[in-house]
Amino acid sequence: AGFPDGVFNVVTGFGHEAGSALVDHPDVAKITFTGSDATGAKIYAQAARTMKRVTLELGGKSPNIVFADADLEAAAAAAPGAVFDNSGQDCCARSRVLVQREVFDRFVELFAAATSAWKVGDPTDSATAMGPLVTQQHLAKVRSYTEPLTDAEVLFRGEAPTGKGWWHPAMIVRADAGSSVCTDEIFGPVAAMIPFDDEADAIRICNDSPYGLSGSVWTRDGARSLRVVRAMEAGTISVNSNSS
């Protein structure tokens, strides 16, 4: 909480204890929360009891839409950072990669080549691009999505250390639009590749999700970019970029 003299208090503790107390306290006028949609829903309901204002930044399964007329090299070079930064533990991660069918195979090649250059290892090493996941429990959750995948579904699997640490390789997988890999927030280094036929198909797949935090559109057609951005059900959208 902020005070007129510029001094700030920091409250530490677990969310179900310290966080819940802050949401309930009558002297706290607003709650801002970044985290899971399940916890956000609890906060929203709890804050209603004291009529607090609430700002929530919750889960994401953000789409990265690549049209055939896009600069494929630029889009593919930017794609690993959009998914694998922070080991995929990013609510704005562009973890659904929608690519127009006629250039799908070529984009996968470029994306895989760009991802193969990412070094996974000690995060204190300046050459490292991706470190471990946050906990053993979270690693198990991510593996629950990736271990059942078949060889045909896995388009690229990167390298990762095998020693101490909760390591998971960067992965690019082909997935059906309705599969759990495409619908659930894995919150790990897994990019779900989905082909689409045309603009209407891309918008349909993009909006077939309960998440709408962010997204990207790659195309050289300015009019198309405006049409697609207006049709996307997402909060922050970038054109020919993956900026949050």
Check residue 78 and give left, alpha or beta (phi > 0: left; psi -120 to 50: alpha).
alpha
Does the annotation count 91 as an active-site position? Answer: yes
Residues in the chain: 244
Q: What is the chain's alpha carbon radius of gyration, rounded to the nearest angstrom?
A: 20
Per-residue 3-state assignment (H helix, E strand, C coil) for 30-72: EEEEECCHHHHHHHHHHHHHHCCEEEEECCCCCEEEECCCCCH
Tokens of 190: 């897994």
Q: Which of 57, 109, 153, 199 is catalytic?
A: 57
User: What six digits make up the tokens of 60?
Assistant: 């994401």
Catalytic residue, from 17, 73, 91, 185: name it: 91
Name the β-bridge partners of 171.
Answer: 157, 190
- CA 59/CA 37 separation, integer angstroms: 5
**Contact of 65 with 192, CB cutoff 8 Å:** no
Q: How many CB atoms lie within 10 A of CB 230?
A: 9
57 catalytic residue (yes or no):
yes
Kindly list the catalytic residues.
Answer: 57, 91
